[in-house]
Amino acid sequence: MIVATFLHDPDFIQVLYIIAFSLFIYGLSGLTGPKTAVRGNRIAAVGMGVALLGTFLIDGLGNWGLIILGLAIGTAVGIPAARQVKMTAMPQMVALFNGVGGGAVALVAWAEFRETGGWDLAPTYVPIFEVFAAIVGSVSFWGSNIAFGKLQEILPGRPITIGRAQSAVNLVLLAAAVACGIAIVAGSDGQLLMIGLLVFAAILGNFVVLPIGGADMPVVISLLNAFTGLSAAATGIALNNTALIVAGMIVGASGTILTNLMADAMNRSIPSIIAGGFGGVVTVGGGAADDGTEKSVRSTSAADAAIQMAYANRVVIVPGYGMAVAQAQHAVRELTKLLEAKGVEVAFAIHPVAGRMPGHMNVLLAEADVPYEQLKEMDDANGEFGRTDVSLVIGANDVTNPDARNKADSPIYGMPILNVDESASVIVLKRSMNSGFAGIDNPLFYNPKTAMLFGDAKGSVSEITEELKAL
Amino acid sequence: MLVTNLAILVLAGFVGYAVISKVPNTLHTPLMSGTNAIHGIVVLAGIVALGLGADGFLNKLLLVIAIAFGTINVVGGFLVTDRMLEMFKAKPAPPRPAADDAEGPRA
């Protein structure tokens, strides 16, 4: 009896919450290195278990059947989804998981609104935070779904806009959602207000992400992640739940840091990315240079590429989204093993925004068992292109574009790039001469040092590997 | 209550900033999916709201969906992160034959 009283003591539950968020923080700090990261993630998962346990102990909790039903549905959907997703599809999976989190926030706010008659008896700050959570959660849910659709290629990756009016329409939508929110905070409990708020926020979420091009997805996903975190923290304040406040805020902070890092890596401001439309606007035809001279591209064969690399001292591989699309990471690993067996030093140079989410390339290469030490971040890699014989660019484009350094009127001018053109020679694996996601021509391809090997990245890499074996 | 919670909120923000800024680029995807799992903690809000009395079919339905969503977020997020991080672990190298193949055509 005493034990039971103790277990249901609100202070005891608070202590469990404190343990839970300590485990989150301790676990996340494990993510600073590959050796401690697995354990760190599991520690954070244990923290979640403790937080759930604390919640189950809340005195007078009922509706157990429905609670278990919800948990069971979520588990039944979540486990197979997480188990079966391919590593190349990771960005869209993360977008989807993020979206449902935001959706949960919005739904809780809606249900609370209905339950309490618009927070009739609560102090004013409660509806303020609930309204914030509802708007941000709803934007995050719909925005993430659109991001998922684009990454999964259900929707076209290119920007979809309604033209110049886009920003103005978005502002009106935001204002409308906030106006509904203000009316709710002011004490109205009209059901339509909350539905209106959610609908406006939903359209806003769609409109914000639809115009954003595929190459900007790393920024969008981390921004939406931050949004969901902040909305969870706001729910925590409204419900006076410490675990939610701390966990939500940590995610908000981390998402904000990541978003800034990604934006810096593209030398673009977050507002300009959100304003969207980047890519598709600039369309440069493939063949002719700006000064009117015909630019020529030298193409090569797998056999020549193999010989070139086999006799190199140092080869740097620059992977991009093309490698992910072609699922070429295992073939690439095979290739590097062969080169290493021939005494060639091989490294990978990874641009922070290569792929469709932060660190996307690293995950794929790790899946293919490429040693962690071989993966070089941009600054380290750039110091070493000078002593590199061959740079092998696999499905990367904009992150190698020298215009970012040289051409002040280029849309990507100022973006830090991998200086592959400093190496003695460059081999570019590419499907065709189409420009990258940013729609910008890449002078690297016309550089006399550069040879192009056209075709599917995986096919080309496998062909080179076969040729290497035959050497 | 509000002020205490705001203090916790601000401090958590700084802690998050301090911890996360140490994570190297290489681990950014797992970091994102790990923090993604953590914000699934909203499932607690759904459980509390439903458990402490939700009336009417629609309210119950909304909250069951919210709990299911939150659970997908938590369970899926942690599992996917675990899968990714397992790949970053240094492999003890029992699958030797692959390396031997690579040695083969050396002559």
Predicted confidence (pLDDT) per residue in B80-93, tens digit: 999 988 888 765 54
Phi/psi for A441 (5° steps) reads -70, 145
Cβ neighbours for A31, distance < 8 A, ≥ 6 positions apart = A37, A40, A41, B23, B27, B30, B31, B34
Measured in angstroms, the CA of A388 and the nearest CA of chain B are apart by 22
* SS3 of residue A377 by DSSP: strand
What is the band of A438 on the pLDDT scale with cuts at 50, 70, 90? Answer: low
- CB contacts under 8 A, B 46-85 vs A, are 46-56, 58-60, 62-85
pLDDT at A281 over 90: no
Residue among A312, A442, A310, A325 at smallest CA distance from A394:
A325
Measured in angstroms, the CA of B105 and the nearest CA of chain A are apart by 6
What is the band of B26 on the pLDDT scale with cuts at 50, 70, 90? Answer: confident
Calculate mean pLDDT across residues A85-98.
89
CB B66 within 8 A of CB A86: no
Substitution target from A363, A372, A418, A467 for chain B, most B beta carbons within 10 A:
A363
Q: What is the pLDDT of residues A293-323, one digit of tens each?
A: 456 888 899 999 999 999 999 999 999 988 9
Counting Cβ atoms within 10 Å, is residue A116 exposed (0-12), middle (13-18) or buried (19+)?
Answer: middle
Contact across the interface for B51 and A470, Cβ inside 8 Å: no
pLDDT for position A214: 73
Please report residues of A whose CB lies closer than 8 A to that of B86.
38
Find how far residue A185's CA is from the centre of its chain: 34
Measured in angstroms, the CA of B57 and the nearest CA of chain A are apart by 11
Q: What is the pLDDT of residues A99-111, one digit of tens each?
A: 999 999 999 999 9
Measured in angstroms, the CA of B79 and the nearest CA of chain A are apart by 6
Nearest by CB to A41, which of B6, B62, B82?
B82
Count A/B contacts: CB-CB distance under 8 Å: 399
Contact across the interface for A104 and B69, Cβ inside 8 Å: yes
Instruction: Tell me the one-letter amino acid at A164.
Output: R
Calculate mean pLDDT across residues A114-126.
90
Q: What is the pLDDT of residues A447-470, one digit of tens each?
A: 999 999 998 889 999 999 999 988
H/E element holding B98? helix B97-103
- Note whether A10 contacts B: Cβ–Cβ < 8 A: no
Specify the pairing of strand A425-430 against strand A390-394: parallel
- Note whether B98 contacts A: Cβ–Cβ < 8 A: yes
Nearest by CB to A108, which of B38, B46, B60?
B46
What is the band of A280 on the pLDDT scale with cuts at 50, 70, 90? Answer: very low
DSSP for A276-324, written as a single string? --TTTS----SSB-TTSPBP---B--HHHHHHHHHT-SEEEEEE-HHHH
CB A75 within 8 A of CB B68: no
Whole-angstrom Cα distance, residue A418 to residue A412? 13
Contact across the interface for A70 and B71, Cβ inside 8 Å: yes
- Note whether B94 contacts A: Cβ–Cβ < 8 A: no
Helix, strand counts (H, E) of chain B: 6, 0
- CB contacts under 8 A, A 59-88 vs B, are 60-64, 66-67, 69-71, 73-75, 77-79, 81-83, 85, 87
The residue annotated as part of the active site, out of A216, A398, A403, A441, is A398
pLDDT for position A129: 96
Measured in angstroms, the CA of B100 and the nearest CA of chain A are apart by 10
Contact across the interface for A237 and B5, Cβ inside 8 Å: yes
Instruction: Tell me the one-letter amino acid at B48.
Output: V
Share of chain A above pLDDT 90, in %: 55
Nearest by CB to A28, which of B20, B42, B90?
B20
First to last CA, chain A: 79
Contact across the interface for A366 and B75, Cβ inside 8 Å: no
- CB contacts under 8 A, A 204-243 vs B, are 221-222, 225, 228-229, 231-233, 235-237, 239-243
Radius of gyration of chain B (CA): 22
Give the number of other CB atoms < 10 A from CB of residue A335. 24
Return the minimum-mean-pLDDT range out of A149-158, A187-196, A315-324, B34-43.
Answer: A149-158
Q: Is A398 a catalytic residue?
A: yes
Calculate mean pLDDT across residues A121-146.
95
For chain B, what are the domain ranges? Answer: 29-86
Whole-angstrom Cα distance, residue B17 to residue B105? 50
Give ∠ CA A74-B13-B75 in degrees, rounded to 5: 15
pLDDT at B107 over 50: no
pLDDT at A217 over 90: no
Cβ neighbours for A14, distance < 8 A, ≥ 6 positions apart = A242
Supply the mean pLDDT for chain A. 88
The residue written with tokens 């996340």 in the block is: A28
Return the minimum-mean-pLDDT range out of A205-214, A285-294, A372-381.
Answer: A285-294
Q: What is the pLDDT of residues A345-361, one digit of tens each?
A: 999 999 988 888 778 88
Calculate mean pLDDT across residues B67-88.
93
